[in-house]
Amino acid sequence: MQDSEIKQAIISIIGDIAPDEDTSNLKPDVRLREQIDLDSMDFLDIVMELRKQYGVNVPDTDYMQLATLDSCVNYLRPKMQGKTLKV
Amino acid sequence: MKYDAIIIGAGMSGLAAGIRLAMFDKRVVVLEKHYVWGGLNSFYQFKGRQFDVGLHAMTNYIPRGAKGRPLTRLLKQLRLRHEDLDLHEQNYSLISFPSAKLRFTNDFSVLRDEVRREFPAQRDAFDNLTRAIADFNELDLSAPRQSAREVVRRFVTEPLLEDMLFCPLTFYGSAIEHDMDWDQFVVMWKSIYMEGFARPTKGVRHVLTLLTNRYRELGGELRLRAGVKRIVSRTGEAVGVELENSEVLEADCVLSSAGFVESMKLLEPTASAVGCMPMRTGNPTADAVGLNGHIGRLSFTESISVLNPGAMPTDATIIFFSNRDRFEYRCPDELVDVDSGVICMPQNFRLDEPIAPMVRVTNIANHAKWCALRRDDGVDSSVNVPADWGQGLGARDQGSGSNPQSPIPNPLGNDAYTAAKQACYERSINAITPRHLADFRPQVSMIDMFTPRTIEHYTGHLGGAVYGSPVKRRTGETPVKNLYVMGTDQGFLGIIGAALSGISMANKWVLQRDGVLTERDA
């Protein structure tokens, strides 16, 4: 999966979790928490959706890697290799 | 087949927990002993009209886009949009005591101004209390228990103001007589005074339809008329349930919204005798009295008067009243205490379409006194009223094939129970009119009333205790492994609170523990 697709996968998951939020203009290098209303329960959901949709496992010690869209892409790049985007 | 989780009770907490588990492909079943879902917040039909059982208002109202509040957390966890709830705000509410009145709305500054007007000497006290509440983290479950009365008295020195501020918060969510836990007080203060009241046009039905549809879309299994006879445990560990029809269901985990004592009573006698009694709660008083200390003493009557179209005895949405300046939130010695209560006019939310005007009056009632009244079944069943209604904990309590959608005993019956209902209805209305709203009696087209017996039957809460046990179990844990309580007895109340309780228990004890994050895929 390309970097742009990984980003799209994350944005799509956030859109599912928080349907009231506008996810169209998220800045890639700013913490997601600062841009939209996400708490630790929501990060749990992001992780669970990654597992459900892509079979990707994110141990809880790695949660901080999901802080920004850029860091998500960097962290998930090896794990998402060869997977197909589901949006 | 073995379930990942069995959920007892299709109320707000059970359905919300079910949604969370079904969302992540858990094998889950929600078991409901009645024909209809909703639990404490169910609905029924009577003489062609729709009624909500418990709902006056939804608390925790915030407009779309407000961040980090319970309602937004709930919406995200259940993947709902704000507009899905169809919430309409209140006009205003009133705290009405003989010597003072305080108005409040969904804008906190209104209450603050009212306190300054009625209690000028308490203005700083009120602001300091407000600040202490804002600074307190009610989500920190490890905070020591404190009496809310004691904390509030450190700030507010005028007893009338203290009682007036407590009145709505206790009525809408205290399981403790004349007090609350401080953290519960903070939760209620924020949800009622700082956030506020709203209601879907169609009342609780709308919320329940939303939840049951979502649960079913996700593939969740909901079984109605599936009362649990016992929770099956082996070596101190819950392994499933046996239903009333003797069917046994196995599961890794049981999440029960039946209440703490009620769930303990569902355990096999041996299990409770060996492993579970006496209950240790950390609360010396409760421990000294054993399980009985866990049964709540606060139950209520609800007197519902449907009015002729166009009738408007007040434009207030909810009135919290006391006819004495010292407000007593206690189980009364008589059937009902009509001198304090809550009056709700559901038509006075800012709805898009008008609904039939009604006045609902909630009064504190004595469960034991109501249970002692003779009730003549023959009279009731002859007029299309189910014989299984209002029977307390009798053998026929689980339903006998009659229609639960019209569960209200016949007001024309001539037994002691029905006569008491009529008398208490009259007294309840006499106590509020014209004191708190215009006399609406000439405009009443239909009357309905339920009592602690009705509540006990409908919710299964012992003693008809609407807010459950005075001793809350914040983590949901019980003395039995893999059995957790959620909903009222976990400590979160109201529709939003109960749903969040179900969500957090499902997250904590199934999704997180279950290796969703760790070992299974590692």
Residue B193 has pLDDT above 90, yes or no: yes
**Contact residues, chain B, for A57 at CB < 8 Å:** 517-518, 521-522
What is the pLDDT, as a whole number, of residue B459?
86
Counting one residue from A and one from B, how many pairs have CB atoms under 8 Å apart? 55
**Percent of residues, chain B, with pLDDT higher than 70:** 86
**Percent of residues, chain A, with pLDDT higher than 90:** 70
What is the pLDDT, as a whole number, of residue B94?
98
Of A37, A41, A59, the CB nearest to B77: A41
Q: What pTM did the predictor assign?
A: 0.89
Most trustworthy range by pLDDT among B45-49, B97-101, B421-425? B97-101
At residue A14 the predicted structure's pLDDT band, cuts being 50, 70 and 90, is very high
Q: Does B82 touch chain A (CB under 8 A)?
A: yes
- How many angstroms separate the CA atoms of B413 and B415, rounded? 6
Q: Does B519 touch chain A (CB under 8 A)?
A: no
- Which of helix, strand or coil describes residue A32? helix
At residue B285 the predicted structure's pLDDT band, cuts being 50, 70 and 90, is very low
Q: Does A44 touch chain B (CB under 8 A)?
A: yes
How is domain B2-58+202-294+467-512 classified at the architecture level of CATH? Answer: 3-Layer(bba) Sandwich (3.50)
**Contact residues, chain A, for B516 at CB < 8 Å:** 47-48, 51
Residue A60 has pLDDT above 90, yes or no: no
> What is the least distance, in Å, from the CA of B177 to any CA of chain A?
34
- How many angstroms separate the CA atoms of B337 and B406, rounded? 26
Which amino acid type is present at position B7?
Answer: I
At residue B383 the predicted structure's pLDDT band, cuts being 50, 70 and 90, is very low
For the segment B322-328, the average pLDDT, to the nearest whole number, is 96
For the segment B307-336, the average pLDDT, to the nearest whole number, is 96
> What is the least distance, in Å, from the CA of B198 to any CA of chain A?
19
Residue B425 has pLDDT above 90, yes or no: yes
What is the pLDDT, as a whole number, of residue B518?
40
Q: Please answer whether residues B241 and B8 qualify as being in contact, where contact means their C-beta atoms are separated by less than 8 angstroms.
A: yes
Report in angstroms the alpha-carbon separations of B217 from B3, B19, B206, B222, B459: 18, 9, 16, 12, 26
Q: Does B137 touch chain A (CB under 8 A)?
A: no
Which amino acid type is present at position B201?
Answer: T
For the segment B470-481, the average pLDDT, to the nearest whole number, is 91
Residue A87 has pLDDT above 80, yes or no: no
Q: Which of B168, B36, B63 is nearest to B71 (CA)?
A: B63
What is the pLDDT, as a whole number, of residue B444?
94
For the segment B250-273, the average pLDDT, to the nearest whole number, is 84
Those residues whose C-beta lies under 8 Å from the C-beta of residue B349, and which sit 6 or more positions away, are B57, B88, B89, B90, B91, B197, B198, B199, B317
Which residues on adjacent β-strands are paired with residue B250? B2, B240
At residue B269 the predicted structure's pLDDT band, cuts being 50, 70 and 90, is low
Contact criterion met (CB < 8 Å) for B516 and A60: no
Task: Return the number of other C-beta atoms located less than 10 Å from residue B113's C-beta.
Answer: 15
Q: Which of B321, B319, B317 is nearest to B98 (CA)?
A: B321
> Roughly how many angstroms between the first and final C-alpha of chain A, as a whole number?
13
For the segment B425-440, the average pLDDT, to the nearest whole number, is 96
Report in angstroms the alpha-carbon separations of B368 from B39, B388, B448, B481: 22, 19, 21, 33
**Percent of residues, chain B, with pLDDT higher than 90:** 71
Q: Does B516 touch chain A (CB under 8 A)?
A: yes
More confident residue, B48 or B106: B106
Contact criterion met (CB < 8 Å) for B517 and A52: no
When computed from its CA atoms, the radius of gyration of chain A, rounded to whole angstroms, is 12
Q: Which residue has the tokens 């299709």?
A: B10
> What is the least distance, in Å, from the CA of B348 to any CA of chain A?
27
Mean pLDDT computed over every residue of chain B: 86
What is the pLDDT, as a whole number, of residue B514?
56
Q: Does A41 touch chain B (CB under 8 A)?
A: yes
Spacing of C-alpha B138 from chain mean position: 19
For the segment B168-190, the average pLDDT, to the nearest whole number, is 94
Spans of all domains in chain B:
2-58+202-294+467-512, 91-196, 299-462
Contact criterion met (CB < 8 Å) for A19 and B72: no
For the segment B417-435, the average pLDDT, to the nearest whole number, is 93
What is the pLDDT, as a whole number, of residue A56?
94
Determine the residue of chain A that is closest to B20 in CA distance.
A45
What is the pLDDT, as a whole number, of residue B284?
47
What is the pLDDT, as a whole number, of residue B280?
47
> What is the least distance, in Å, from the CA of A21 to any CA of chain B?
8
**Contact residues, chain A, for B68 at CB < 8 Å:** 37, 39
Q: Does A55 touch chain B (CB under 8 A)?
A: yes
More confident residue, B498 or B411: B498
- How many angstroms separate the CA atoms of B477 and B505, rounded? 10
What is the pLDDT, as a whole number, of residue B292?
67
**C-beta pairs of B443-446 under 8 Å, 24+ apart in sequence:** B443/B307, B443/B308, B443/B311, B443/B313, B444/B305, B444/B306, B444/B307, B444/B308, B445/B306, B445/B307, B445/B308, B446/B47, B446/B49, B446/B305, B446/B306
Q: Please answer whether residues B469 and B489 qualify as being in contact, where contact means their C-beta atoms are separated by less than 8 angstroms.
A: yes
Domains and CATH numbers, chain A: 3-76 (1.10.1200.10)
